[in-house]
């Protein structure tokens, strides 16, 4: 069973994907949603800086089999959403992002965990 913990929230990581693979998914989404090339580059660079973590986790990414698993799905997409807001993406576009990446489901799950 997977027991690595997130370097942001310290909860167990249930989806062992490295930040680079998450960033690639977001990069495709930003491009698909009409951001110009300069915004795309700046956004991805800011995202890379936000997720440049050292970790003691030993598990490798299930997608690329190379990157270290260091951050949970929820923390990655929460920070990504905040960055979209900082880049002044329209609210409708941010809501689309949340829907595509099921961020609202993760928020509901976290609320349930906190209530326990």
Average pLDDT along the chain: 84
Query: What is the distance between the alpha carbons of residues 116 and 111, in angstroms, rounded to a whole number?
Result: 9
Query: How crowded is residue 80: how many other Cβ atoms within 10 Å of its Cβ?
Result: 26
| Spatial distance between the Cα atoms of 7 and 67, rounded to a whole number of angstroms | 15
Tally of domains in the chain: 1
Mean pLDDT value of segment 11-29? 91
pLDDT at 42: 94
pLDDT 10s digits, 60-115: 999 999 988 999 988 999 899 999 999 999 999 988 898 888 755 545 444 444 55
Task: Kindly report the pTM of this predicted structure.
Answer: 0.80
> What pLDDT sits at residue 55?
79
| Structural domain containing residue 70 | 19-115
Position with higher pLDDT, 38 vs 2: 38
Name which of 68, 63, 71, 78 is nearest 109 in CA terms. 78
Residue 10 lies in a domain: no
Look at residue 13 and tell me if it is in a domain: no
1 part of a folded domain: no
Res. 23: pLDDT tops 90? yes
Cα atoms in the 13 Å half-sphere on the side-chain side of 82:
8
Residue 4 belongs to a domain = no
Residue 104 confidence (pLDDT)? 53
Count of C-beta atoms within a 10 Å radius of residue 104: 11
Q: 71: Cβ–Cβ under 8 A, 6 or more apart, which residues?
A: 6, 7, 8, 13, 19, 22, 51, 53
């Amino acid at each position: 069973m997977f027991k690595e913990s997130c370097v942001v929230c310290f909860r167990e990581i249930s989806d062992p994907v490295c930040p680079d693979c998450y960033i690639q998914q977001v990069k495709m989404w930003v491009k698909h949603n009409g951001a110009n090339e300069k915004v795309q580059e700046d956004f991805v660079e800011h995202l890379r800086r936000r997720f440049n973590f050292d970790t003691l986790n030993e598990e490798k990414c299930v997608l690329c089999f190379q990157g270290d698993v260091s951050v949970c799905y929820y923390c990655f997409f929460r920070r990504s959403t905040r960055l979209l807001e900082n880049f002044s993406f329209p609210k409708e576009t941010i809501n689309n992002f949340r829907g595509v990446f099921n961020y609202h489901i993760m928020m509901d799950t976290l609320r349930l965990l906190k209530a326990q």
